[in-house]
Structure 1
Amino acid sequence: MNASLNEKLRAVKWGEYKLGDLFEINPTKYYRLANDKILSKSGITPLVSNASIANGVMGFSNLNPLNKGNSLSCSDTTLGAETMYYQKIDYIGYQHIQSLIPKFDRFNSAIAFFIISASHAATSNGQYDYGHKFNRKSMRKTVIFLPICDDGSIDFDFMESFIAELEAERVAELSAYLTVSGLDNYELSSEEENALKNYQFLKWDTYNLEKLFGKSTRGKRLKGDDRIAGTLPFVTAGEASEGISAYISNDVEVFEKNTTTIDMFGSAKYRNYKYGADDHVAVVHTEAVPMKAAIFVTSACHKAAHTGKFDYGHNFYAKDADALDIQLPTKDGKPDYDTMAALISAVQKLVIKDVVLYADRKIEKAKTITKH
């Protein structure tokens, strides 16, 4: 956060408010049906659960929404307000989800985000644990601090302008990153267009990983207590943080960037940085393959290895990587790395296009706000 925003926070007057005085807090209404009876691939109504990602939305339904939007939702089974989200549209609640309906008239996403941040701050000091959850009773009693006007009323203007400026700052950082990294160019080249157009006509062949890239390397165990804090990413099994469990300075084998890791469950990930790895990780040496083609190879490895065959009782190891056969586009009897790279580049541009356009729209909107 820049200095000017910090100065504004220091200069503002603050008042104490109980969430129960600001909101009607009651259990959400939900359907007493199995998930497969609620969720639908073609659904448009959000089903809000106690998930800590995706705004708490676990899927979508074709059933009628039972809870009003422009409100907050929060799980009563967590250790604080980390699952408090703004719900823009009407939704279906899940068990253990509380609905927070504002008792005041002026409410929108900006004000909601400010209140959510204040709620996070009020509930993140360790007062809740698995024996003392952030339930409905606790929510109602939770005291948060909000900016106030000279007459003692809530300063909604400040909250809205502060969130708008904060968002503009973050979007500007995103835009700068996209420009520096070259990701702001989302126009497809003729090569990329042709790669997408001819995808269905590609020739595929089966390739063995060891024959393509040599023997894979197994990482070495490094217990948590023995890890010394540093800057080298240390990769273990798991999906959280791309499997990076720590940053270390231990004297371990350092694997090169532009390589692929496959963990004990058969989950493959591309690494474009140097890293260490534990004994539940196999490193596939794709260093010599062009970067975007290596990403394609990683996807092929994941498809071949992450089939449910490997688990805690049957781990995926380097020997399994050496025996792994993957499907790749082929040309003249060899992997067609040029086509793979063009396909990944095209997909990247298609995905990033909406992000670039979103950033541009937000920046233009911010310019109009800061003029006032």
Structure 2
Amino acid sequence: MKTTTEWSSFKLIDLFQVKGTKTTPKKKIDFDEYGRYPYITTSAINNGVYGYSESYTENGGVLTVDSAVRGVVFYQSTNFLASDHVEKLIPKFEITSLRAQFFITILNKNIRKYGYSYDHKRSQTKLKQEEIELPVTSSGLVNFKYIDNYMSSMQETVQKKIKRLTNLSSNEKTINTEKWNRFKLYESLFTVVTGNKFDFSKMTFKNPHVNFVGRSGLNNGVGGLVDEIKNVKPFPAGSLTVALGGSIGSSFIQTEDFYTSQNVAVLVPKIELSDLTKQFIATMIRRESDLYYSAFVNELNKHINTDFTVLLPVTSEGKIDFEYMEAYMAKINRLMYQNQRYFQKVVKGREVNIVENLTL
């Protein structure tokens, strides 16, 4: 699609009303797994959602802004509740999901431009002073037609590429696991440790540099950065984490030192394992969890260090076939890299990379 070369700066307050939300303390909420209304917090992942309930205080169709830590912006299409330090931007124009994603992308890029952080919060005062650059018509108005067409085109492109990605293995034979064996994680591969059981809302953020891993299946499980606690050494990078509740079985390699919330197990390798091998095992942990475990009914807590097993390939001698796992994951990673290139939009001039924030 041909890009527009006409962009201009606009005051945020010319496009949105900047307001606060009513704070609802977490302890006053009756959370319901099947609730209709999200509880929005200052989390930088999962659209800011902590959980769901059957009550709300705020109307949807607005952008929410974290004014406590990094200033991350999300779009809330439905009515919602909010924690402290959640501001809202009420559009003065007709908002759609695609338009919202366009504005979210630009506003989140502004985080770096304006240097928002724990010590330089994205408060209502700062938001009212903020400017954003948008495509304009020949008369200098926001070019919503361009935004709509651009986003529709990007959505169509991404949907096609996602379909291509999901069909990566369509021409390959299904892996035969009949000759694989089951292994307990703690027997020879890992030391299985209970996580810290910390509450993210009670952590401090004066000099945040330690990853905080929760039970989310997104963003490697990392909910944000927190201060290091005196006399509490973070878990080492290279360990695997496993969500025992929430997104049960979500397993990730942690690339930085970290703390954890409750219901997170930490797998510390007993032997030297490559990242490719860890990726393979993490995938098998999630597969096993999807098949046999579920939230509230049969969670992993009682099983991870007792009878939980995963299927792994073996050599003719019946030993774990590490070479096979590495080769297989290397092949998958190559295929993933090739398809990721379809998701990348080169930034030229003032064209904005929208793909990373598209909601499909």
* TM-score (ref. length: structure 1): 0.52
In the TM superposition, 1:1-372 aligns within 5 A as 4=1, 7-8=2-3, 11-31=4-24, 33-35=25-27, 37-63=29-55, 65-80=56-71, 82=72, 84-104=73-93, 106-125=94-113, 127-182=115-170, 215-216=188-189, 235-238=238-241, 242-245=252-255, 266-267=265-266, 275-276=274-275, 295-296=287-288, 307=301, 325-326=306-307
Residue 341 of structure 1 is matched in structure 2 by none
Distance 2:113 2:81 in 1: 31
Distance 1:268 1:298 in 2: 19
Root-mean-square deviation over aligned CA pairs: 4.4
User: Structure 1 residue runs of 4+, over 4 Å off?
Assistant: 206-211, 237-241, 291-295, 297-301, 303-306
The answer to whether the 8 A contact 1:235-1:275 is kept is no
Q: Percent identity?
A: 19
Query: Who wins on radius of gyration, i.e. which is larger?
Result: 1
What's the CA shift for 1:37? 3.2
Task: Name the CA shift for 1:209/1:17 in 2 (closer, same or farther; >3 Å).
Answer: closer
| 1:54-101 CA-partner distances (Å, limit 9, x unpaired) | 2111111112x2212111111111223x2x111111212221111111
Task: Name the CA shift for 1:121/1:86 in 2 (closer, same or farther; >3 Å).
Answer: same
Distance 2:95 2:267 in 1: 44
Distance 1:27 1:297 in 2: 40
| 1:314-359 CA-partner distances (Å, limit 9, x unpaired) | xxxxxxx9xx541579xxxxxxxxxxxxxxxxxxxxxxxxxxxxxx
Task: Name the CA shift for 1:156/1:306 in 2 (closer, same or farther; >3 Å).
Answer: same
Distance 2:130 2:254 in 1: 35
Distance 1:70 1:275 in 2: 45
Distance 1:47 1:151 in 2: 41
What's the CA shift for 1:266? 3.7
Give the AA of the match of 2:16. Answer: F
What's the CA shift for 1:125? 3.4
Give the AA of the match of 1:88. Answer: S
The answer to whether the 8 A contact 1:19-1:141 is kept is yes
The answer to whether the 8 A contact 2:26-2:83 is kept is no
Residue 368 of structure 1 is matched in structure 2 by none
Please give the secondary structure, in 1, of the residue aligned with 2:113.
Answer: coil
Give the AA of the match of 2:238. Answer: V
Distance 2:286 2:76 in 1: 39
The answer to whether the 8 A contact 1:45-1:60 is kept is yes
What's the CA shift for 1:275? 2.1
Give the AA of the match of 1:90. Answer: N
The answer to whether the 8 A contact 2:37-2:53 is kept is yes
Q: Which moved more, 1:22-31 or 1:291-300?
A: 291-300
More helix by share: 1
Give the AA of the match of 2:86. Answer: I
What's the CA shift for 1:21? 1.9
Distance 1:109 1:52 in 2: 19
| 1:110-156 CA-partner distances (Å, limit 9, x unpaired) | 11111111112222236223221111111111111011101111111
* TM-score (ref. length: structure 2): 0.54
What's the CA shift for 1:161? 1.0
Please give the secondary structure, in 1, of the residue aligned with 2:168.
Answer: helix
Residue 231 of structure 2 is matched in structure 1 by none
Please give the secondary structure, in 2, of the residue aligned with 1:245.
Answer: coil
Give the AA of the match of 1:165. Answer: S
What's the CA shift for 1:159? 0.6
Residue 217 of structure 2 is matched in structure 1 by none
Distance 1:139 1:114 in 2: 18
Distance 1:167 1:120 in 2: 19
The answer to whether the 8 A contact 2:185-2:308 is kept is no
The number of aligned residues is 235
The answer to whether the 8 A contact 1:297-1:328 is kept is no
The answer to whether the 8 A contact 1:268-1:299 is kept is no
Task: Name the CA shift for 1:77/1:210 in 2 (closer, same or farther; >3 Å).
Answer: closer
